[in-house]
Amino acid sequence: MPKHLERDLGLYTTITVSIGAMMGVLFVIPGLAAAKGGPSVILAFLLAGLLVMPAALSKAEMATAMPESGGTYLYIDRSMGPLMGTIAGLGAWFSLVFKSAFALVGLGAYFALALPLPAAELKLVSLGLGGVIILVNILGVKQSGHFQALLVSFALFVLVMFGAGGVIRVQPEQFQPFFSKGASGFLAATGFVFVSYAGVTKIASIAEEVEEPDRNLPLGILVSLGLMIPVYVIVTFVVVGVTPPEVLHSSLTPLADATGQMIGTGGKIGISIIAVLALVSMANAGVLSSSRFPLAMSRDQLAPESFRVISDKFRTPTRSILITGGLLLLLIAFVPVLELAKLASAFKILIFVFTNVALIAFRESDVEDYDPAFRSPGYPWVQAFGILGSLLMLTQMGWIPILGAAGIIAGGVVWYWGYGDARTDREGVTLNALRQSMRTSLFARMHETFSMEIGNVMVVCSEDTPEHATREILSMGGDIAQSWKGRVFATRFEPVPEQVSLPDAADRTTEADQHFEEQVKTLKATDGVPTEAHEIVCHDPGRAALHFARTRDVRLMLGTVDPGHWRPKLLGIDTDWFVREASCEIAFLVPQAASDGRANALDEIVILLPRAPYGPLKAFIADALARAHDAQIRFLTAMPSDASDDEVHTVKAFHDRLADHCDSVTTSNIICTDDVTNGLVDATGDADLAIVGKLARSRLRDLLFSNRTTDLVQALPCNVLLVRPQRPRQNKPLRRLIERYVF
């Protein structure tokens, strides 16, 4: 039985863990941010805090629903699936370790003010403090939490005193002009300080160790954020108000410089000592929370199994802490951490976006076991504000941080495909939400297709169409038009050279024209269906056919093609051209046998359906033909051999919904195979007609890539009807891409 972590952290300790992860940045960042935005950096901290609030509310809700270790990783994994979970878990882990290393290296600037030491010895001090933090975290979360609470409480008290005492000392001229760097500078400063609040949601990473999680997790997150926003604003107000810009904008010790301006060298040294303690607290909070990411990922088979081991003696994830601490010490010793911290900052903003999206996914998917004790107010507008605001801030980070975030994402993808993919088959609830949304539009299309009362069918023939094929498609056209209560337009196109006058050619009636009209009149399949025969003389039969369809309110154009050509043709024109140009729905019959009366021998019709939500028109046509011939319909879909039960269930539900619309007897057939084409051919068996979807393809695509439709047409032993429903032209490739991924 797997071991769990002890719930040793109370509300007060939980709040101080969050504040500690945020507070240390305040000792370093105001000067650098003021260089970007001038005095408006004060409002930048306020705006950044407001933009972080939606993610804080989202995490507070999800933490009470899933009070387990992992935080950001856990929520994104469960909502968006293991791939996005891997990216979020590794990215958040790296970002937190970078931030902890940044804190331990950054304290050197303050340490040098209190106790001047050579640079090499300062690095040794940072490494030593890192070792102490690792040891404290191994000894137990309770000891680490108490250590954190003491450091944070004292440092927070000093910051409050600093702000209260400094407000009366500010110089109003220091704020003129307030937006000295313009709107762009203000937004740049906001994006820069955005990551100051990254620690507010780190409580969720240690949720498994928090007492009374339903109460303490949301309170810990919201109270810590509510405290730090005014602290950030007031302290920055004092720093900007008492420090000359030429000193502040290049300072890595802004609070020490401000204290020196107010009370002299003694105060400067005192605040430096507090800064060292605060930065140690920040590093400790980072190790405490970041070490839980490998633990959570290991439990989900996305990281080595050893990371989930809980120490019998200390009840802490020792190996996860050691790997996190080892990376921390390596960064301090060998890497320019300040630069890496900037690269990781953009990913933190993306994490806030993912967090808000995750909450929306949970809410919209109606997950049965998602039952949070706290619910985010203002849903979904608060989350939408957070997403848009975070993305706006991301644009202000510059290209280097954005490329850094892209690098973290690429690393997560490589790790997942190389390690995690073979070990997990979970799906995120976002897929369910997308499926539900797409099902809604699909079911609407189904209802529209099956409930349409009037729809005319145009049967297209040429001079070269064999008599048995003409009879076959006329029979099909009659069956379909009868279901739609529409008319059949039996058309025969006779192309003539450009130099021949169309009126002259139209005046001549041939024996073939008379025979075609006789066929239409005597066909039993069209009994009771209004039918018109049209012989059309034209220069361009393709354009003429499309014009006829538009002017006669044709819903479906039906023709027969020759499968012997490299690219099947109708009226001598590639069928792909009709698919691209026609404004109505199209069906092409590909006869595999030339036996007379084949259409009257329909016993079983197989509809080959992809995993994506297509098929209403195919099902409607199959149902119309089946009712006319007392035939049975079989829905057939091929899926990969490793398809999950959820994926199979989704396809089966799609089959069932189609079956509900059909009046004929239907069955469902789902096969799992890695050879889709041969699997579908074998599963089709002795069916009399196979109905397959048709897409338009370019010649180049046919040369470079295989065409499964063509392969099926050539391999299936029965007649094949290629069906292409009418679709909106906008965003088709994007929608198809999303549908193929989701389904």
Does 728 have pLDDT greater than 60? no
Non-local CB neighbours of 435 within 8 Å, separated by 6+ positions: 650, 742, 743
The whole-number pLDDT of residue 509 equals 64
For 674-712, write each residue's pLDDT tens digit: 888 888 889 998 899 999 887 655 555 555 455 677 778
Q: Across residues 576-594, what is the average pLDDT?
A: 81
The region of weakest confidence among 32-46, 134-148, 537-551, 704-718 is: 134-148
The whole-number pLDDT of residue 605 equals 93
Task: Label residue 210 exposed, middle or buried (CB < 10 Å: 0-12, 13-18, 19+).
Answer: buried
Highest mean pLDDT pick, 19-23, 281-285, 317-321, 679-683: 679-683
User: Is 78 or 336 the better-scoring residue by pLDDT?
Assistant: 78
Task: Label residue 230 exposed, middle or buried (CB < 10 Å: 0-12, 13-18, 19+).
Answer: middle
Residue where the block lists tokens 């804080």: 56
Upstream peptide bond of 380 is cis (omega within 30 degrees of 0):
yes
Q: Which domains does the chain have, with CATH numbers?
A: 11-367+374-424 (1.20.1740.10), 445-742 (3.40.50.12370)
Q: Across residues 399-408, what is the average pLDDT?
A: 80
Residue where the block lists tokens 């196979």: 690
The whole-number pLDDT of residue 486 equals 86
The region of weakest confidence among 167-181, 240-254, 394-408 is: 394-408
Does 129 have pLDDT greater than 60? yes
Parallel, antiparallel, or unpaired for β 488-495 and 632-639? unpaired
The whole-number pLDDT of residue 566 equals 60
- What b/e string do you get for 26-54 counting C-beta neighbours within 10 Å, with b at 16 or more? bbbbbbbbbbbbbbbbbbbbbbbbebbbb
Q: Across residues 298-321, what is the average pLDDT?
A: 81
The whole-number pLDDT of residue 299 equals 82
Least Cα distance to 192 among 341, 381, 62 occurs for 341
The whole-number pLDDT of residue 444 equals 60
Does 70 have pLDDT greater than 70? no
Pairwise CA distance, residues 711 & 705, whole Å: 12
Does 596 have pLDDT greater than 60? no
Query: Quick check: 109 and 340 in contact, CB under 8 A?
Result: no
The whole-number pLDDT of residue 604 equals 92
pLDDT confidence band for 64 (50 / 70 / 90)? confident
For 440-477, write each residue's pLDDT tens digit: 666 666 666 666 677 899 999 887 778 788 888 888 88
pLDDT confidence band for 164 (50 / 70 / 90)? confident
User: Is 494 or 120 the better-scoring residue by pLDDT?
Assistant: 494
Q: Residue 51 has which token pair?
A: 């933009």
pLDDT confidence band for 729 (50 / 70 / 90)? very low
pLDDT confidence band for 279 (50 / 70 / 90)? confident
Mean pLDDT across the chain, nearest whole number?
79
Looking at the chain, the number of H-run helices and the number of E-run strands are 29, 12
Q: Across residues 542-547, what is the average pLDDT?
A: 89
Q: Across residues 386-409, what is the average pLDDT?
A: 82
The whole-number pLDDT of residue 599 equals 46
| Angle CA 342–345–350, to nearest 5 | 150
In the chain, the percentage of residues whose pLDDT exceeds 90 is 9
The whole-number pLDDT of residue 631 equals 92
572 conformational bin, left if phi > 0, alpha if psi -120 to 50, beta if neither? left
Pairwise CA distance, residues 5 & 314, whole Å: 10
The whole-number pLDDT of residue 592 equals 73
Q: Across residues 266-277, what is the average pLDDT?
A: 82
Query: Quick check: 468 and 596 in contact, CB under 8 A?
Result: yes
Q: Across residues 76-90, what is the average pLDDT?
A: 84
pLDDT confidence band for 240 (50 / 70 / 90)? very high
pLDDT confidence band for 91 (50 / 70 / 90)? confident
Does 504 have pLDDT greater than 70? no
pLDDT confidence band for 731 (50 / 70 / 90)? very low
User: Is 329 or 290 the better-scoring residue by pLDDT?
Assistant: 329
In the chain, the percentage of residues whose pLDDT exceeds 70 is 81
Does 663 have pLDDT greater than 50? yes
Q: Beta-carbon neighbour count of residue 57 at 10 Å?
A: 26
The whole-number pLDDT of residue 697 equals 52
Does 252 have pLDDT greater than 60? yes
Does 7 have pLDDT greater than 80? no
Task: Label residue 246 exposed, middle or buried (CB < 10 Å: 0-12, 13-18, 19+).
Answer: exposed
Pairwise CA distance, residues 690 & 683, whole Å: 11
In this structure, what DSSP letter does residue 69 have?
B
Does 735 have pLDDT greater than 50? yes
